Structure 1
């Protein structure tokens, strides 16, 4: 059996940096993209262009509830029909087809009356951001995140041609439009630097960061993963890892790879780690990130 390579990059509060595996290879960021979408939405809140707690366009939910997955919206990821279509390399569904499948049984619950992870909620956030700014998400991310932080490897992958930059051969047959809120791609150092800058206060105002970090407790240990306490904030997973204390960031996964990008504030020298590998087990990269935080 081939040894599974984990590609990691880390940076500490004191400025130390290091890596294991490739620092140049391009990886899908998968749901770490949600953290970046949340940053963009919150920047618009700071400028007064969006309101976290106003209901949206006659809908029963707010931007805060979409960001926190408490809106009650369903998610396409739970449907075998979606995964079968991806595996069969079919063309991505239209927005109408996606919503018809996802909303076949309506909303899951009334807003704030539960918690359920929803990629559709983040698709709606992207649409709200683009309508508000009259710009495509790719340009907004460049303006708010990538250019200010000089993160040159990161781009929003919207075509198969763009996605062929990705390290793994399986990426050549994947259409990133199957990720309906968008999928960022980039190297491990830039993923770590992005989250590190966010947690250092370089992207959002202190009050905005306080709200972004306000997490809802969701439960305890998860089998085959390092979590002992789990929660979700605004575009951020937030909890406790047994060996490393508090962790804030996001895990992600697609049909052929996984990633974990986390900041560990309880470390002696607070550290941010971005880890990527092939396969579908998010625990592999979460444990890898935890080991760097411990050491």
Structure 2
């Protein structure tokens, strides 16, 4: 494991703040933890009868559930060299149509439901779908369904460079959040941990809905340089097992200058939720930091 660079974390035990490393007021990009929020909004809307998880999207062969679990067959833009070159040059984000063309988004990798492929494009389409079905922006849905009920005052959807000026990492001043096409949430480690903790402890969705969200598709076991022993994907959640802590539920995220790991550890003697944020691009750094923090808390509270 590479040495963690200036890590920040926040931990929750039994619905209470347990401890933090670094300031609890600093703001960070949530990167792909935003997918958890998108999936959560979709599921809450499904509970209210406003969206259908299993009806194919108009003119498409895949449905919303498949988009949320990365089983729709859509490709991703993460492997596009031109995309990364444009981000490195601090260019303005491409129009969605240009992105879709560059990624060959109309060419499915497999028949929907017959495989698995991580796709940021899939989550962009999922966000667009719930916005269309409700005639509300994702920002307003986020506030209505998650942020306001939980009093998560720091969380907002960043859509402009100006909004990234509040991000702690200096490199954020030279990045447009529009490059995260499904949307990039920003907020404190405290609010990230509180969001996940409320979700996994059943305070945001019904028990049956949470069961569906946690129904993970197995993806494999160990990942080089990371703490995973086995890994799977539910609906907006990475679910598996990590070394020394057993089961984990949450999501990792990363961009061109920082990474994070927001996970709940239910198998410890004292279950804990940890949100860890570190500099750099090695996702294992944040994951190992989250595991280390969770184990320390379990030992201290035993």
Q: The TM-score by the shorter chain falls in which range?
A: over 0.9
Q: Name the count of aligned residue pairs.
A: 294
Indicate the SS of the match to 1:77.
coil
Q: Following TM superposition, by how much is the alpha carbon of 1:62 offset from its aligned partner in structure 2, in angstroms?
A: 1.0
The answer to whether the 8 Å contact 1:126/1:181 transfers is yes
The answer to whether the 8 Å contact 2:239/2:247 transfers is yes
Shift of 1:24: 1.1
2:172 matches 1:175: no
Query: What is the DSSP-based 3-state SS (H/G/I as helix, E as strand, rest coil) of the residue aligned with 1:114?
Result: coil
Give the 3-state SS of the residue equivalent to 1:78 in structure 2: coil
> How far is the alpha carbon of 1:13 from its aligned partner?
2.3
Is 1:58 paired with 2:72?
no
Distance verdict in 2 for CA 1:291–1:47, change over 3 Å: same
1:153-164 alignment runs, 5 A limit:
153-164=154-165
Find the aligned partners of 1:134 and 1:104 in 2 and give their Cα distance. Answer: 24
For residues 1-295 of structure 1, the aligned pairs below 5 Å read 4-13=5-14, 15-103=16-104, 106-295=107-296
Cα distance in structure 2, aligned partners of 1:21 and 1:246? 26
Distance in 1 (alpha carbons) for counterparts of 2:137 and 2:161: 18
TM-score normalised by structure 1 residue count: 0.97
Question: How far did residue 105 of structure 1 move?
Answer: 7.9
The answer as to whether partners of 1:188 and 1:274 remain within 8 angstroms in 2 is yes
CA contact (8 A) 2:75 2:105 kept: no
Residues 105 and 65 (structure 1), Cα distance of their counterparts in 2 relative to 1, 3 Å cut: closer
Give the distance between the partners of 1:214 and 1:127, measured in 2 at CA: 24
Query: Residues 105 and 40 from structure 1, CA distance in 2 versus in 1: closer, same or farther, beyond 3 angstroms?
Result: closer
Q: Is the CA contact 1:12–1:272 (under 8 Å) kept in the aligned structure 2?
A: yes
For residues 185 and 254 of structure 1, the distance between their equivalents in structure 2, rounded to whole angstroms, comes to 13
Measure how far apart 1:16 and its partner are. Answer: 4.9
Q: Secondary structure at the match of 1:249?
A: strand
Contact 2:74–2:105 at 8 Å: present in 1 too?
no
Give 5+ residue unaligned stretches, structure 1: none
- TM-score, normalising length from structure 2? 0.95
Which digits, 9 at most, give the CA deviation of each residue in 1:28-80, with x for residues without a partner?
Answer: 00000000000000011101111111111121111111000010000011111
Kept in 1, the 8 Å contact 2:199–2:205? The answer is yes
Report the Cα distance in structure 1 between the residues aligned to 2:8 and 2:212, rounded to whole angstroms. Answer: 31
Cα RMSD of the aligned pairs, angstroms, is 1.3
Q: Aligned partners of 2:140, 2:125: CA distance in 1, in Å?
A: 17
Moved over 4 A (4+): none
Where 1:84 maps in the other structure, the secondary structure is helix
Q: Is the 8 A contact 1:14 1:269 kept in 2?
A: no
- Deviation at 1:21? 1.5
Cα deviation code 1:105-145 (max 9, x no counterpart): 82111112211000000000111111111111111101100
Aligned equivalents of 1:151, 1:14: Cα separation in 2: 14
Cα offset, 1:3, TM superposition: 7.2
